[in-house]
Amino acid sequence: MELLEGLLTRRSVRQFDASKSISQADLEEIIKAAQYAPSAHNKQPWEFLILTDKEKMSALRHVQPWTSFAKDAAAVILVCGNTEESFSRHKEDETWNYSDIDCALAAENLLLAAHSKGIGACFCGAAPMPKVIAGLQEMFTLPDYIRPLSIVILGYPKEEPKQPIDRFKQEKIHWEKW
Ligand SMILES: Cc1cc2nc3c(=O)[nH]c(=O)nc-3n(C[C@H](O)[C@H](O)[C@H](O)COP(=O)(O)O)c2cc1C
């Protein structure tokens, strides 16, 4: 699949063929693509927790209610940031941490790599929702410096998602001045 075509045709997939699994080689290649994302100061602060166990995937809805369709997924990848490794600053005058941004970029690569393989995926949010972060940390006994950014739900699509016709909005582009 050509890159631009993939970018334009990727859609969130929430209906999966529950009988089909994703090979370990495909999951690893999808995560490889995620690890080639840009990151602040090239810190690459991401970690990936893969779930294929149906009970674990179904239970995600107890911490993030908009993930109920994970029950039919082939796999879930929790994209997490290591906030001790990410580019950050903690001083009196400013505090910031690039973990979420780095992980979001990695997650988009992951979605596109899955799409290129005919695997459907949906990015479901974790950070910055404090209760969801805490719930996932407890559910998977994550260390407190591991901050889940996204619950990416994957599987072979049961049906083609509809393509939008009006995504491109010329009025969102501001040339030279606002
Ligand atoms: C930060 C973020 C959080 C999201 N959380 C959820 C979610 O919890 N559940 C869900 O079904 N989709 C979730 N989505 C997917 C969006 O609903 C989807 O990307 C949007 O409707 C556009 O559709 P498309 O991905 O097909 O282009 C999330 C997307 C983003 C970027």
Distance, CA of 152 to CA of 168 (rounded, Å): 25
Distance CA 131, CA 79 (A): 17
Closest CA to 28 of 64, 71, 75: 75
Q: Residue 46 domain-assigned?
A: yes
Q: What is the pLDDT of residues 103-130, one digit of tens each?
A: 999 999 999 999 999 999 999 999 999 9
- Give me the domain span that covers residue 62: 37-88+95-159
Q: What is the rounded end-to-end Cα distance, in angstroms, of the chain? A: 36
Ligand 1 atom closest to the Cα of residue 65 is 8
Quick check: is 66 in a domain?
yes
Domain count, the chain: 1
Mean pLDDT value of segment 84-98: 95
Tens digit of each residue's pLDDT (9 = 90 or more) over 23-82: 999 999 999 999 999 999 999 999 999 999 999 999 999 999 999 999 999 999 999 999
Does residue 72 sit within a domain? yes
Q: What is the pLDDT of residue 96?
A: 96
Non-local CB neighbours of 39 within 8 Å, separated by 6+ positions: 45, 46, 86, 87, 98, 102, 105, 106
In this predicted structure, what is the pLDDT of residue 128? 98
**Ligand 1 site, CB within 6 A:** 11-12, 14, 66-67, 122-125
Share of the chain above pLDDT 90, in %: 97
How does pLDDT run across 140-165, given as a tens digit for each residue? Answer: 999 999 999 999 999 999 988 999 98
Distance (Å, whole) CA 177 – CA 90: 34
Q: How does residue 1 score in pLDDT terms, banded at 50, 70 and 90?
A: confident
Q: Cα of 72 to ligand 1 centre, how many Å?
A: 17
Does residue 26 fall inside a structural domain? Answer: no
* Residues 144, 34 contacting (CB under 8 angstroms): no
CATH assignment at residue 52: 3.40.109.10
Does residue 167 form part of some domain? no
Angle made by CA atoms 25, 28, 34, in degrees to the nearest 5: 145
Compute the mean pLDDT over every residue in the chain, rounded to the nearest whole number: 97
Q: What angle do CA 120, 125, 10 make, to 5 degrees?
A: 30
Residue 170 within any structural domain of the chain: no
User: What is the residue with the minimal CA distance to atom 12 of ligand 1?
Assistant: 124
Q: How far is the CA of 11 from the centre of ligand 1 (A)?
A: 9
- Tell me whether residue 53 is in a domain: yes
In a domain, 175, yes or no: no
